[in-house]
């Protein structure tokens, strides 16, 4: 394999946004008398499509709001919040992005978030233009765990699946990359340690460990 690109997930992989997602969800659900503790919510919903989570919550509690509206409200609230409150980088994330960029490899961001969730973070940190391709859930008919987002990234970069590696932190993300035929490496965070990563080509403790492996392939 001639490696040409690294395809990064965003939430929980590059930025520590799971707590932000959790707080936004609880703010939206509070008027309906529904509250989750962070560990339960993140372990249950981390990496899952927003609409899927909204549908489950609405059905579980018989909420007087439809899943589509709750999903739209979540996207809007998250995008508004991160436009002024950037979630912290995951350990070594910015340094690894700099190193991958300096290596000459192409970089893509492939996220399950909506554009109005992802773009404020990428632009807020000044790294939007570091990526040769940014794919959000709005760019495909079938978001993660379908392979469509990764296939779109490959097509945009004009490379094949065996010329790229992906980095993910959840079962949903690993499944998406695997469905597109991309070798995917998992870096679990404390909310996703118990996820099924059997489809991953490998599991690393952090991004720095991943980059040390990546250097051996250059």
- The mean pLDDT of 43-47, rounded to a whole number, is 82
With b for 16 or more beta-carbon neighbours within 10 A and e for fewer, the 20-37 pattern comes to: bbbebbeebbeeeeeeee
Residue 38 confidence (pLDDT): 85
pTM value is 0.93
Please report how the helices 50-61 and 67-82 are oriented relative to each other, as an axis angle in degrees rounded to 10.
Answer: 130
Residue 169 confidence (pLDDT): 96
Taking CB atoms within 8 Å and a gap of at least 24, the contacts of 205-213 are 206/90, 206/91, 206/92, 207/13, 207/90, 207/91, 207/92, 207/93, 207/96, 207/167, 208/91, 208/92, 208/95, 208/96, 210/96, 210/167, 210/185, 211/92, 211/96, 211/99, 211/100, 213/185
The rounded mean pLDDT for the chain is 95
- The mean pLDDT of 4-24, rounded to a whole number, is 94
- The mean pLDDT of 120-149, rounded to a whole number, is 97
């Amino acid at each position: 394999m001639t490696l040409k690109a690294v395809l990064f997930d965003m939430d929980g992989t590059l930025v520590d946004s799971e707590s932000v997602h959790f707080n936004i969800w609880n703010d939206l659900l509070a008027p309906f008398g529904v509250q989750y503790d962070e560990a339960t919510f993140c372990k249950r919903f981390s990496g899952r499509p927003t609409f899927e989570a909204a549908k489950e919550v609405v059905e579980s509690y018989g909420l007087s709001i439809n899943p589509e509206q709750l999903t739209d409200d979540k996207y809007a609230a998250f995008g508004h919040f991160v436009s002024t409150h950037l979630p912290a980088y995951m350990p070594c994330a910015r340094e690894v992005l700099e190193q991958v960029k300096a290596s000459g490899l192409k970089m893509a961001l492939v996220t399950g978030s909506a554009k109005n969730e992802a773009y404020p973070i990428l632009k807020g940190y000044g790294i939007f233009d570091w990526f040769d391709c940014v794919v959000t859930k709005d760019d495909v008919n079938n978001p993660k765990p379908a392979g469509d987002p990764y296939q779109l990234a490959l097509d945009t970069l004009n490379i094949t699946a065996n010329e790229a590696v992906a980095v993910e932190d959840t079962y949903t993300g690993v499944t998406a990359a695997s469905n597109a035929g991309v070798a995917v490496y998992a870096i679990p965070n404390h909310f996703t340690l118990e996820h099924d990563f059997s489809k991953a080509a490998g599991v690393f403790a952090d991004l720095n460990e991943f980059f040390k492996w990546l250097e051996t392939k250059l």
